[in-house]
Amino acid sequence: MIYLVSNEQIKDIYNDKKIDFDRYNIEIKTSLSTKQFSVVVDFVNNEITGDCVAYGSWFDIGLDECIELLEEVQKHNKSIRNFKHIIENLQRRN
């Protein structure tokens, strides 16, 4: 099962740079394991990045996996803001 554990919106200025992103903390649980994901939608740089903690390791995840997780969040109306335009721009680049 996929669970949205938490989400947060960060808007601020840090070292004279604008910061504007949403973070989604997601868990995928099976009977044998739990994977914890963090997906960040950056509205300043129009980027989506993510990482995962699973099987005793911490690693980055690719754009496709980030998008799949975000689509699950959107299915349940749990997204903070609309980021469809960022996904479309990133998919056109690839």
Q: What angle do CA 48, 37, 25 make, to 5 degrees?
A: 85
| 94 pLDDT higher than 80 | no
pTM equals 0.92
- In order, the DSSP letters of 38-67 are EEEEETTTTEEEEEEEETTEEEEE-HHHHH
| 4 pLDDT higher than 80 | yes
φ/ψ (deg, to 5) at 9: -110, 130
Print the domain residue range for 52. Answer: 2-93
Beta bridge partners, 7, equal 24
Q: Give me the number of domains the chain comprises.
A: 1
According to the model, what pLDDT value does residue 11 have? 96
